[in-house]
Structure 1
Amino acid sequence: MIATLAHAEPDRAVTPPPYSDREATLLGRPMPADRLRGWLVTLALTVIGGVVRFQNLGFPTDKGTPVFDEKYYAAQAWQILRNGGYEDNAGYEYIVHPPLAKQLIAAGEALFGYNGWGWRFAAAIAGTLIVLLTIRIARRLTRSTLLGGIAGVLVICDGVLHLQSRMSMLDIFIALFVVAAFACLLADRDQVRTRLAIAVRDGWVGESPYGPRLGFRWWRFGAGLMIGLAFAVKWSGLYHLAAFGLLCVAFDVAARRAAGVRRPWVGTIVRDVAPALWAFVGIAFLMYLGSWWAWFASETGTDRNYVAIKEIAPGFFGWIPPALRSLGDYSMNVLQFHETLLTPKDQPHPWESKPWTWPMGLRPMLYYYESGDAAAGCGGPGCVRATMLIGTPAMWWLALPMLAWGLWRWIFRADWRYAAVLTGYLAGLLPWFLNLDRQMYFFYATTLAPFLILGLTLALGQILGSANRGFERRGTGLAVVSLYVGLVVANFLWLWPILNGDPITGEHWQTELWLPSWH
């Protein structure tokens, strides 16, 4: 498929009308002309990704019950389904995340019942949509359908995204909404530059030293909606909210400067910052509150009447409705839970990991393990069935080189594409270094995977080279890229048994564990 797309000249772009230098700088390289083929490639790979994620989705289970942390979220989703959207078990002390992802899981349970298919269906849908979004993002970043398709293959073959798409946990949902927000942000960047190019062509870009007003920006509004949904899955969505808000401002400053605005920084502050704050803070916060709709409408939701039951004097906050004050106190209790979720010095969790191990996936997580008669089917004695969260090493072991190359391109070549991708990646990694005593696990790194793949895709695009640089250069680049993609696919197929719980011999199980830290 890679060779076929390459010979079809994926970098061929729409022939533009004559632009001035300033307009050309604003617009950059146009999107490729093969729009239909781009969507055909996207949909074909999305279908393949869906098949890979949905196959045998109901396995494994623990004698028909959830495995690992599914035991929390599948059960909470079942409560939500029973109650019409909210949780109410006051004796259950682990309701420490917003309700959105559990509401989505509940939708799957409504369709298929309380079984593996039911509590994993929504996660598989989310993982499949990440395939689609990553292809479209990569195509927009590189202006190449071929590279968009390569990004899709890499997403399908990543062990973290694959297994998280097959588990009733929250992290695949936050990854979905973060990637969707990033896609909207990139579309907004292109739209802003198109509007400024029109202003340049029509001669009114310099009527104000601050530059023109840009009208309502639907893509920025969409980014705020998506980041609000990420926040409504887990509070860690706030990290990406802050990072993407700053990235949006940086995009606006760069666009106004490229358009020749005399005071681009002041123009951005005057024209763009307030709407950006509304999109990335106001809209996001409203989306977060909206995810609690059923809790607000209930009488028995967890801590729904907290301030009344505890007889908390409102004081200065008396003007705030009791329901909102109850949610605030409930949230403070949840915050305290997270702040005190520390690693016991005498009995650490056997699969805990710290964030410096995440980029290369040095400490994966064992979700499920059976051996002996319960795991029969490998064709020999001593069978093993296991699912382990492992990032495909052919990609994850290149994380540090990707980061180094991306930072060099960002700082010394002003390559905005790497700046955008690394902003998304580092927003999912760096904040976890602020409290290293907290219990942390590799599945927190789920949001890193799409940005790792986008960074690798940008690098592969540079290796591939432009279609205009000669057959020999293009052919060599295509060979290198094809070999790498083939290596990733082969690596994923090797890990397949321990990503899906297939029966294997004990000897085979040991060959899957490449590093001592994987044991």
Structure 2
Amino acid sequence: MKILSPSKYWLFFIFSASLFLRFLGIGQIDNAVFDEIFYPQYGLMYLQGKEFFYAHPPLANYLYSISIWVYSLLPGSNIESLQTIEFSALNPISYRWLNALLGSLLPLIIYKISFLLSRNLLFALLCACLIAIEGSLIVDSRIALANIFLLTFGFASLYFLLRFYLLENRTSNLIMASVFMGMVISVKWSGLGFLLVAFFIMAIMELKEQKKPEIRHFIYVLFFTILAYTLLFVPDLYLNENYGLFEKHRQILSYHQTMVTENEHPYCSKWFTWPLMMRPVGYYFDNTMIDQGGIAASYFTTIHLLPNAFIYWFSTLAITVMIVSQTINIVLKKIGDQKKQILSAVIGFGYLANLLPWAFIDRCLFLYHYQPASIFSFIALAWYLSELLDANKPVYRLLAISLMVVIVLSFLYWLPFHMGFSIPEYEFSRRMWFESWI
């Protein structure tokens, strides 16, 4: 009988914890939350043959159609007919379970990417752990929004691309990377940041092996990405006949240019404030009065896209150090460990490619737009933690352990905001450290 290595046990534990955090009580709030009134409802409209227009590509809506349809097949779903049921009558679990599943897989994908880049098990496990317990990723895995699709497909694409260069030089890996890339752009156009990262990875990997990049690999990726993206529009064009492919894209572009203005929403935030987590997003809030021995006590139930503050702050420091040190090495032409240089370059470029384009966007932006970039910063944090843990000096190991303890304690501290647990008003206020968080 094959015995699992200790690292596999740790990975299994992280995955199990990820599943638990994402599935536990996902139906306790029994109505649509925040933008759940859009994505899942459009998914139901596909199933009912109703036409509609939406300001993003259609893949997320397809996925919610599939999610609702699969749920309707289960015994006890209480769905007599998908053709006649009102969206408000759906059990929210019907459109939330898919987010929870894909969100649970994200730590495994990041583990695979981190290990391919470093061959360092400790580093890869730390990456998976940070992704599993980070608050904003837990929240968006429990609510039916498209953000978790974008992250899962985007990093799955990068995994297959790295697999092509670092593990199996098979064209099938390039095709899989391209298909997932087409999928991520078919969720939201902001997924194009992953395409920039993919081309950067290809460039440095090709130059590492030879002086001149293999252009056909770039052509493969671009061709199959465009093909996958275009084909994913076909069902929508069939079901929504008001606009053709080009007109639909013109309408989407027009919407984002004219219909969503800066600061029109109370939770809008500037892109440069995201790394410091200055303006989280409130998804849901409810106030219940409970009689406690004749005294009415106020209990708040909230779902807040409030990331783990210490993961954000520590990771912002880590990615800054990594980018600055990498830049200095390039300027001074310092030649070090090639594997570490490639890892730093991929992480640093991945972060900037998913953050800096937002500087040129005038529309209202939210903290969740930072999630793709933030994961690269979490990877940077995991790298420095693993380096400290591997250091010879006990003080470095103690520092790493102290940082990890702070992260775990803060995860537990803000968990009620991520899971929708009801807490007394004073506990809510205690956790809102800054006025801008409310």
Please confirm whether the aligned pair reaches a TM-score higher than 0.5, indicating the same fold. Answer: yes
Aligned match of 2:249 = 331
Aligned AA for 2:51? N
Correspondence for 2:56 among 75, 85, 97: 97
Correspondence for 1:146 among 118, 122, 125: 122
C-alpha distance in 2 between matches for 1:96 and 1:516? 32
Aligned match of 1:513 = 432
C-alpha distance in 1 between matches for 2:291 and 2:94? 25
C-alpha distance in 1 between matches for 2:373 and 2:233? 27
Is 1:448 the counterpart of 2:373? The answer is yes
C-alpha distance in 2 between matches for 1:338 and 1:442? 17
C-alpha distance in 1 between matches for 2:65 and 2:410? 34
Query: How has the CA–CA distance of structure 1 residues 111 and 376 changed in structure 2, closer, same or farther, with 3 Å as cutoff?
Result: farther
C-alpha distance in 1 between matches for 2:158 and 2:197? 10
Structure 2 counterparts to residues 4-153 of structure 1, below 5 A:
36-61=5-30, 65-83=31-49, 88-90=50-52, 93=53, 95-113=54-72, 114-153=90-129
C-alpha distance in 2 between matches for 1:418 and 1:344? 34
* 1:433 CA drift (Å): 0.7
Deviation string 1:11-68 (CA, Å, 9 cap, x unpaired) is xxxxxxxxxxxxxxxxxxxxxxx9844433323311211111100011323xxx3111
CA contact (8 A) 1:409 1:418 kept: no
* 1:145 CA drift (Å): 1.8
Is 1:186 the counterpart of 2:162? The answer is yes
Is 1:411 the counterpart of 2:337? The answer is no
SS across alignment from 2:56: coil
CA contact (8 A) 1:239 1:428 kept: yes
Aligned match of 1:211 = none
Query: What stretches of structure 1 of length at least 5 have no aligned partner?
Result: 1-33, 193-214, 257-263, 307-325
Aligned match of 1:237 = 191
Aligned match of 2:388 = 463
Is 1:222 the counterpart of 2:171? The answer is no
Query: How has the CA–CA distance of structure 1 residues 493 and 273 changed in structure 2, closer, same or farther, with 3 Å as cutoff?
Result: same
Structure 2 counterparts to residues 480-519 of structure 1, below 5 A:
480-519=399-438
Query: How has the CA–CA distance of structure 1 residues 442 and 129 changed in structure 2, closer, same or farther, with 3 Å as cutoff?
Result: same
Structure 1 stretches of 4+ with a deviation exceeding 6 A read none
Aligned match of 1:205 = none
> Could you say which structure has the larger radius of gyration?
1
Aligned AA for 1:432? W
* 1:222 CA drift (Å): 2.4
Deviation string 1:113-155 (CA, Å, 9 cap, x unpaired) is 5222111111111111101111222223332222222222211
CA contact (8 A) 1:150 1:485 kept: no
Structure 2 counterparts to residues 244-263 of structure 1, below 5 A:
244-256=198-210
- Return 407-416 or 331-340, whichever deviates more: 407-416
Aligned match of 1:164 = 140
Query: How has the CA–CA distance of structure 1 residues 427 and 60 changed in structure 2, closer, same or farther, with 3 Å as cutoff?
Result: farther
SS across alignment from 1:385: strand
Query: What stretches of structure 2 of length at least 5 have no aligned partner?
Result: 73-89, 331-340
Deviation string 1:295-329 (CA, Å, 9 cap, x unpaired) is 34x3xx22x253xxxxxxxxxxxxxxxxxxx1111
SS across alignment from 1:372: strand
Q: How many residue pairs are counted as aligned between the two chains?
A: 407
Aligned AA for 1:253? L
CA contact (8 A) 1:179 1:450 kept: no
Aligned AA for 2:195? L
C-alpha distance in 2 between matches for 1:380 and 1:465? 53
C-alpha distance in 1 between matches for 2:118 and 2:167? 17
Is 1:277 the counterpart of 2:219? The answer is yes
Aligned match of 1:289 = 230
Aligned residues: CA RMSD: 2.3
Identity %: 22
SS across alignment from 1:165: helix
SS across alignment from 2:283: strand
SS across alignment from 1:391: coil
Aligned AA for 2:70? L
Instruction: State the TM-score, normalized to the length of structure 2.
Output: 0.87
* 1:454 CA drift (Å): 0.7
* 1:407 CA drift (Å): 1.0
Is 1:478 the counterpart of 2:397? The answer is yes
Correspondence for 2:355 among 421, 429, 452: 429
* 1:391 CA drift (Å): 1.3
* 1:477 CA drift (Å): 3.8
SS across alignment from 1:489: helix
CA contact (8 A) 2:304 2:417 kept: yes
CA contact (8 A) 2:141 2:148 kept: yes
* 1:180 CA drift (Å): 1.0
Aligned AA for 1:75? Q
